[in-house]
Structure 1
Amino acid sequence: MRVSVVVTVYNESRTIERLLDSLAGQTRRPDEVVICDGGSSDGTPERIRAYVARHPERLPGLRLLVEPGANISRGRNLAIAAAQGPIIAVTDAGVRLAPDWLARLIEPWCRARPGEEPLAVAGFFLPDVEGVFQTAMAATVLPLVDDIDPRRFLPSSRSVAFTKEAWAAAGGYPEWLDYCEDLVFDFALNAQRAPAPTAFVWAPDAVAYFRPRESLRAFWLQYYRYARGDGKADLWRKRHAIRYFTYGVAVPALVGHGLWGMWARWLGWAGLLAGVAVYCRRPWQRLARVGAHLSRGQRLQAALLVPLIRLVGDLAKMAGYPVGLWWRWRHRRDPSVHWRRFS
């Protein structure tokens, strides 16, 4: 069974060798690696070529495509189209792959009976953190295996595999989307196995280690873009509506009662604190595991950062979502845009 690994990169000169090392160190090496660079200006293609020249035996099947201006969807589609394997495994720049990542990811195909091969396999990703801030960020925004319902899980393209035929039937990754493209692609794969709840076989041991953002500014931009993508693709209306209601109605009502209430003003503040505790409960639980390497004092610092990170992420989402909706409205007559609702 020939397996192709595809990656898209853009200005990843600091991290690309870590990814290449982890690909070269796989217990089941890919038969080929196809990387599409979207026009990096930091020397990423040169670093890839230099790596291949230094270690020609490590990734002998590596091919580099350069497509200036390609977004992540376009880059993935070009790389998949160029790949020769019937099984496509996808990961991202900026990650470090577990040594058995590819072996675990393709295992469902290896053990399947003829005619019962899976359409797609969902791997997983875990935090690869340094310091207090990244640990707090990971506990706040990244799920652990315990948080996942395999029947509803929509995998990130940091760790996923599918047949090339399924990719073609899905119409490829949506090139009209710059963010949330992997979710829309997941929906298109799931549609091929309807009415089954999912097209994905769950492979939680196929792990890509992912580094969260290193500052609140970078995190804001990331979640702003995610939410803008939600608006463009018309994703998660109820989730965004609940967030606007919470910050636009519930929180002001509690604060107002705490400041100007006619009776028992303490109830306003108590309600606000209770809401924060409920909202941060699961991240604080994850912190006990993700932050096991921290001292007690550092874990306390990380716990105090969790509500701030939640707030910044929510505000970024509330800022980005209407921008995406406005883009969707302006492009409502564009035939290249998929207008079907996906959630």
Structure 2
Amino acid sequence: MKRNISRIARVIRNPRYALDRIRNRLLLGIKSCVYIVFRLFDQKGVFSSSYFLLYGDTRVYSDICIPQAINRSQKITLIATSLNEMDNIREWFDSVLAQTLLPDELIIVDGGSNDGTIEFLKEQAAQTPFPCQIIVKPDANIAKGRNLAIENASNELIASTDFGCTLDPEWLQKITFPFYDDDEIEVVAGFYKIAKGGKLRMRLLGPTADTVIPQTFLPSSRSLAFRKEAWKKVGGYPEWLSLTGEDTIYAINLRRAHCKWAFVPDAIVEWKAPVTMLGYWQKVLMWSKGDGESGFGSNLYQFSLFRILTLCFAVFIVFVLNTYIIISFSNFWFIFIIAILSLCLLYVFLANFLFNEKIYRLNDLISEIGAEWMRVYGFLQGARNRQSVMKRRFQNIKGFFFILAGVPIDDTGGGSRGAQMAWELLNQGYAVLYLNAFPKYESIDLAINTYHQNLITMSFQDYLLTRHYLVYESIIVEKGCVALVEFPLPIFLSHIEWLRDKGAKIVYDCIDNWESSLGSQWYSREIEKKIVENSDVLIATERSLATTLEKRYYRDVFLLPNAVNSRIFDPYKDYKTPNDLPDNSCWKSIYIGALWGDWFDWDLLIEIANTYPDMAVMVIGDYRGQCKNHPPNIHFLGLKPQYALPAYIKSADVCLIPWKITPITQATDPLKVYEYIAMHKPVVAPLIEPLQHIPAVWLAKDRVDFVSLVKEVLNYPLPIDEIDSFIIQNNWTMRVKQLLNFTSL
């Protein structure tokens, strides 16, 4: 009530505030409607995209005060690319030499200039007070030029800028300061301001300082610094784009890789923007083509198209109105006044509502309308090239895999079966499009690196609604494609049929007993039957699942159990001891996995803890208070990323699978068992069929037997040679090879 009264009082004091809120709410509603309408009419997937603006933790460095004595143990390489830059080169070099902190190395890659740029660069290189390397690579695009410069850099810290810019004297010192202040920072975004030579408004050339949100800011590479290791992590700049948009995609990939960012708003370069209206339009056109090729910012371009269509409609209405008045009335002054009023209303509508900004000058309005036209035209031109661009992007892959999964690739710490298969396929040279049907329900975000240059991840709903699958149509035909279906969901069925029509091989992977509480909300045997009918290969994780499928559908089913990532789980590696481990004075047991479901035996876990009060029971998973009043020696350590698990397992004396024996568990091949034994740890589990004949696993007949085995197994020698032989045959590298043999890809 008080809040509403406060709002009413604010409106009375400031009516403009109310009008602005109404306008903003109206625009938000219009945008939502526009996106829905465009999805319905965009039959070619022109406005589809797998690139989205990501939120990332970013440390802001404002008003930096550089200490006089700072330990600069890491040296800096400054990079830039050039092509016919003779008009800008002298001023750029002067600003580099005027830096309060000079680079330790300068590398410039020229794309084949013919205006004297190369000769001038070589002349300057001989005079600089630091090593300067000029590399000439004719026909190299901007991304190729940047990558070539970084490959040749001899230093770990890379600062990037462009010709056509003038560097603030303290730019290099400020943009590299966070690296020396915090060793964990991998990327530093600077800022740029536009040095306009004219008076035209050019709102599409970049953000203003007051509109930047550091956590989502995607900096231009004209003012950017990063560690070479971060560049390697994301595979460098995307050379598959024709010309522009490379720095946007590079910045998105750095966000996806969960690099640690900093933002230094005072690390400024001044960029010479186009002076003329035509130059402004050409720049917007060029940038938009790059976004059209990648698909980034498709929502913004949809709204730009809406603006253009609205403009045409408004002009048409004014034209019809004035034509009607001219035909219907003979009074000149009446006609003249109506015409002037209608044009004024049109101007106010365009200047204040359509662009959501106050544009007063006619020149500025014409400039922005033209820029919107060029923006849409450029994006559509780029979108026409998208399939050929995708071919360039994936030209070196062995094949293309669709994984139709239930959960996102970073769910459960990134350790799900589908995620493990995806990463191994990527390691073996395949591209993967990973589609999740369900959102992530975990209580915390582990900020797991999900970037790989040949990996695309999307929610299946977005993928289907935006018709993003059309982007890959030619790749499916040329490269060969396999669709791995993990969940027999109704929403997958139509797309499976589409993929099959395009020549893809369909593999149905039965990973669980869905005729249980696991699939009670969505499973349909009829849907599964249709998916099986459309499948070329059937596989199952466990023998009873395979037998059920064979009897039900009269088809051969290959057994493909779970496995372990031997690159991560290596018992011969030294792992850093986690800082949240319980007291080292006690012996330890560990369970890693889901903490929900009617198969998890909380009573057994509590009984184990009570029986061995001198043992720390470590539980790793998404704990949300499921176990009230638990014994003090049960330690809930929370959800952990997959790569962190070996250190915890190595610290344990015995590993647990505290499950009840149910139809679900009798048909489950516990993935974590493979990871436990790979780390040379004994495992105690209930007597379930899938765990028979696995070395170092002791199966308990009942609860009493389980509790006693927890201590007894410590007295039994582990069959290390047998375990190592088992892991050689049961790692994800071998599983993917088996899968490829089944599909003959």
TM-score past 0.5 threshold: yes
Q: Which segment is superposed worse, 325-334 or 36-45?
A: 325-334
Contact 1:2 1:87 survives alignment (8 Å) = yes
Paired letter, 1:270: L
Report the Cα distance in structure 2 between the residues aligned to 1:145 and 1:98, rounded to whole angstroms: 16
Contact 2:77 2:104 survives alignment (8 Å) = yes
Select 1:119's aligned residue among 158, 176, 186: 186
Show CA shifts across 1:16-75 (max 9, x none).
Answer: 11111111111111010100011100010111122234xx2x442111111111111000
Residue 179 of structure 1 corresponds to which residue in structure 2?
244
Contact 1:255 1:268 survives alignment (8 Å) = no
Label 1:154 to 1:62 Cα distance change in 2 as closer, same or farther (>3 A).
same
Q: Does 1:235 align with 2:296?
A: yes
Report the Cα distance in structure 2 between the residues aligned to 1:200 and 1:160, rounded to whole angstroms: 11
Greater per-residue helix proportion:
1
Residue 8 of structure 1 corresponds to which residue in structure 2?
81
Q: Does 1:245 align with 2:245?
A: no
Deviation, 1:329, is 2.7
Q: Greater relative contact order (Cα 8 A, min sep 6): structure 1 or 2?
A: 1
Q: Percent identity?
A: 28
Residue 168 of structure 1 corresponds to which residue in structure 2?
232
Report the Cα distance in structure 2 between the residues aligned to 1:269 and 1:27, rounded to whole angstroms: 53
Contact 1:255 1:272 survives alignment (8 Å) = no
Residue 93 of structure 1 corresponds to which residue in structure 2?
163
Report the Cα distance in structure 2 between the residues aligned to 1:186 and 1:192, rounded to whole angstroms: 10
Select 1:202's aligned residue among 263, 270, 282: 263
Residue 327 of structure 1 corresponds to which residue in structure 2?
385
Report the Cα distance in structure 1 between the residues aligned to 2:105 and 2:381, rounded to whole angstroms: 39
Q: Does 1:104 align with 2:174?
A: yes
Deviation, 1:167, is 0.3
Report the Cα distance in structure 1 between the residues aligned to 2:358 and 2:245, rounded to whole angstroms: 23
Paired letter, 2:108: I
Residue 223 of structure 1 corresponds to which residue in structure 2?
284
Q: Does 1:31 align with 2:101?
A: no
Report the Cα distance in structure 2 between the residues aligned to 1:309 and 1:340, rounded to whole angstroms: 37
Paired letter, 2:235: G
Q: Does 1:190 align with 2:255?
A: yes
Show CA shifts across 1:127-186 (max 9, x none).
Answer: 2233xx2x4245663432112111111000000001100001111101111111000000
Label 1:191 to 1:38 Cα distance change in 2 as closer, same or farther (>3 A).
same
Deviation, 1:333, is 4.1
Secondary structure in 2 matching 1:219 = helix
Residue 42 of structure 1 corresponds to which residue in structure 2?
115
Select 1:62's aligned residue among 112, 127, 132: 132
After superposition, the CA RMSD in angstroms is: 2.7
Deviation, 1:7, is 0.4
Report the Cα distance in structure 2 between the residues aligned to 1:41 and 1:268, rounded to whole angstroms: 49
Residue 257 of structure 1 corresponds to which residue in structure 2?
317
Select 2:151's aligned residue among 72, 76, 81: 81
Report the Cα distance in structure 2 between the residues aligned to 1:340 and 1:308, rounded to whole angstroms: 39
Report the Cα distance in structure 2 between the residues aligned to 1:39 and 1:8, rounded to whole angstroms: 11
Deviation, 1:2, is 0.5
Report the Cα distance in structure 1 between the residues aligned to 2:200 and 2:355, rounded to whole angstroms: 11
TM-score by length of 1: 0.83
Question: Matched residue pairs, number?
Answer: 312
Report the Cα distance in structure 1 between the residues aligned to 2:377 and 2:253, rounded to whole angstroms: 27
**4+ aligned runs moved over 3 Å, structure 1:** 137-142, 261-269, 278-284, 330-334, 336-343
Contact 2:202 2:280 survives alignment (8 Å) = no
Residue 312 of structure 1 corresponds to which residue in structure 2?
370
Gaps of 5+ in 1: 285-299
Select 1:274's aligned residue among 349, 367, 372: 349
Gaps of 5+ in 2: 1-73, 326-337, 396-452, 463-745
Select 1:152's aligned residue among 216, 219, 227: 216
Report the Cα distance in structure 2 between the residues aligned to 1:304 and 1:140, rounded to whole angstroms: 17
Report the Cα distance in structure 2 between the residues aligned to 1:233 and 1:338, rounded to whole angstroms: 14
Secondary structure in 1 matching 2:288 = helix
Report the Cα distance in structure 1 between the residues aligned to 2:293 and 2:85, rounded to whole angstroms: 26
Report the Cα distance in structure 1 between the residues aligned to 2:227 and 2:113, rounded to whole angstroms: 29
Contact 1:16 1:93 survives alignment (8 Å) = yes
Contact 1:13 1:44 survives alignment (8 Å) = yes
TM-score by length of 2: 0.39
Deviation, 1:257, is 2.9
Show CA shifts across 1:249-288 (max 9, x none).
Answer: x22332233333589996786255233224566575xxxx
Secondary structure in 2 matching 1:161 = strand
Larger radius of gyration: 2
Deviation, 1:96, is 0.4
Label 1:160 to 1:333 Cα distance change in 2 as closer, same or farther (>3 A).
closer
Paired letter, 2:267: A
Report the Cα distance in structure 2 between the residues aligned to 1:138 and 1:237, rounded to whole angstroms: 21
Paired letter, 1:25: A
Secondary structure in 1 matching 2:86 = coil
Secondary structure in 2 matching 1:136 = coil
Residue 94 of structure 2 corresponds to which residue in structure 1?
21
Paired letter, 2:134: L
Secondary structure in 1 matching 2:385 = helix
Contact 2:196 2:274 survives alignment (8 Å) = no
Label 1:267 to 1:218 Cα distance change in 2 as closer, same or farther (>3 A).
closer
Paired letter, 1:223: V
Q: Which segment is superposed worse, 325-334 or 313-322?
A: 325-334
Label 1:238 to 1:40 Cα distance change in 2 as closer, same or farther (>3 A).
same
Report the Cα distance in structure 2 between the residues aligned to 1:333 and 1:157, rounded to whole angstroms: 25
Label 1:331 to 1:146 Cα distance change in 2 as closer, same or farther (>3 A).
closer
Secondary structure in 1 matching 2:79 = strand
Show CA shifts across 1:211-256 (max 9, x none).
Answer: 11122332222211111111100111111111112212x2233223
Label 1:18 to 1:306 Cα distance change in 2 as closer, same or farther (>3 A).
same
Residue 128 of structure 1 corresponds to which residue in structure 2?
195
Deviation, 1:305, is 2.6
Contact 2:196 2:275 survives alignment (8 Å) = no
Deviation, 1:321, is 1.3
